[in-house]
């Protein structure tokens, strides 16, 4: 089993049970290095079509169903489907980062494969909650936002770490307190299960953003660039990104490695 080729195959797999099963198989194989080979010369292919294109209808972001009353089954399905799509896309994103960038310390590949396993666990958990509500991943239309950012950052380690793992995942940290507050207002079993899932995802995402932060700083050092280039890297990969929001989760971002000066620059007092 060759590590990079296997990552590519799992990333591109659109049969969900097969995809998750192959991830588990590779995780087991990595416990026995003799079963895995690492061939850095394996050709790196351009980012292709998203694997979820065979699962979901793809529409423009403005056409994706908006979250409604979270006290209703319909509203919860829309919410959980959107979150499951983020987690599914994040599986492919982490796999692509481990596949695409070669010649880095072993810890880099371990970090992003571990993130992919976490995202797969999150996705399976959310898809299970969707099924309890009578739905499933693929029942609703999705957009390609994370995949587009992945494609636009495919030629730069620094930009990939900044835009996707450090920016997009940190946005999830910012959203958590308000979502937790909203679901705290419901006392039914389904709401309790959703709250628990959100907490699990939140705790893991702090570690994921921390990994993005570490490797972003590593890439900046390789490039001889200041970490101040963060916002430029983000807007190159995600055109139209706006900074200067007041709703940053300061505590979580600090845990993930953001400094006080960086956080100040990302608030309305900065950019």
User: Of 73, 86, 88, which Cα lies nearest the Cα of 171?
Assistant: 86
pLDDT digits (tens, 9 = 90+) for 114-163: 999 999 999 999 999 999 999 999 999 999 999 999 999 999 999 999 99
**Residue 149: predicted pLDDT:** 97
- Mean pLDDT of all residues in the chain? 93
Identify which has the larger pLDDT, 246 or 177.
177
pLDDT of residue 124: 98
Q: What pLDDT was estimated at residue 246?
A: 64
What element of type H or E holds 40?
A: none
Question: 215-235: per-residue pLDDT in tens?
Answer: 999 999 999 999 999 999 999
Residue 84 has pLDDT above 50, yes or no: yes
> Which residues touch 208 (CB under 8 Å, ≥6 apart)?
115, 118, 165, 169
**Please, are residues 179 and 263 in contact by the beta-carbon 8 Å criterion?**
no
**pLDDT on residue 40:** 80
Residue 271 confidence (pLDDT):
38
Q: What is the pLDDT of residue 36?
A: 83
pLDDT of residue 65: 64
Say whether pLDDT at 14 is over 60: yes
Burial class (CB in 10 A: 0-12, 13-18, 19+), 40: exposed
pLDDT of residue 228: 95
Summarised one tens digit per residue, pLDDT across range 253-262 is 999 999 999 9
| Rounded distance between C-alpha atoms, residue 174 and residue 82, angstroms | 16
**Residue indicated by tokens 């958590």:** 176
Check residue 268 and give its pLDDT: 59
Give the Cα separation of 118 and 159 in Å (integer).
Answer: 22
What is the reported pLDDT for 67? Answer: 65
At residue 37 the predicted structure's pLDDT band, cuts being 50, 70 and 90, is confident
DSSP letter, residue 37: B
Average pLDDT (8-14) is 98
Fold of 3-265: Ferritin (1.20.1260)
User: 262-270: long-range contacts (C-beta < 8 A, 24 or more apart)?
Assistant: 262/227, 262/230, 265/228, 265/231, 266/231, 268/244, 270/243, 270/244
Q: How many residues does the chain have?
A: 271
pLDDT tens digits, 155-176: 999 999 999 999 999 999 999 9
Q: What is the pLDDT of residue 270?
A: 43
> What are the pLDDT digits (tens) for 56-76?
999 986 767 676 789 999 999
Least confident of 17-21, 38-42, 207-211: 38-42
* Predicted pLDDT of residue 177: 94
The confidence score (pLDDT) of residue 16 equals: 98
The set of residues, in sequence order, having a beta carbon less than 8 Å from that of 82 and lying 6+ positions away, is 64, 65, 67, 140, 142
Q: How confident is the model at residue 245 (pLDDT cuts 50, 70, 90)?
A: low
Between the two ends of the chain, the Cα-to-Cα distance in Å is 47
69/204 Cα distance (integer angstroms): 27
Q: What percent of the chain has pLDDT over 70?
A: 95
């Amino acid at each position: 089993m060759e590590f990079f080729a296997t990552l590519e195959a799992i990333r591109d797999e659109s049969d969900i049970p097969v995809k998750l099963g192959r991830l588990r198989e590779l995780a087991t194989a990595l416990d026995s290095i003799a079963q895995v080979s690492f061939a850095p010369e394996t050709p790196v292919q351009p980012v292709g079509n998203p694997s979820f294109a065979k699962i979901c209808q793809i529409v423009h972001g403005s056409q994706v169903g908006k979250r409604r009353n979270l006290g209703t089954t319909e509203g919860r399905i829309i919410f959980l489907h959107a979150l499951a799509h983020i987690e599914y896309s994040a599986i492919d994103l982490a796999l692509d980062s481990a596949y695409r960038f070669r010649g880095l310390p072993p810890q880099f590949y371990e970090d992003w494969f571990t993130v992919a396993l976490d995202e797969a666990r999150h996705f399976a958990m959310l898809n299970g909650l969707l099924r309890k509500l009578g739905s499933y991943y693929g029942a609703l239309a999705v957009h390609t936002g994370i995949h587009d950012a992945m494609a636009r950052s495919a030629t730069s380690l620094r930009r990939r770490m900044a835009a996707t793992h450090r920016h997009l995942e940190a946005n999830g940290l910012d959203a958590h307190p308000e979502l937790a507050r909203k679901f705290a207002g419901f006392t039914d079993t389904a709401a309790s299960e959703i709250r628990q899932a959100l907490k699990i995802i939140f705790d893991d995402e702090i570690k994921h953003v921390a990994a993005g932060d570490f490797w972003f700083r590593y890439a900046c050092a390789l490039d001889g660039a200041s970490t101040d280039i963060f916002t430029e890297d983000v807007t190159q990969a995600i055109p139209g990104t706006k900074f200067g929001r007041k709703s940053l989760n300061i505590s979580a971002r600090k845990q993930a490695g953001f400094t006080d000066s960086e956080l100040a620059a990302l608030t309305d007092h900065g950019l």
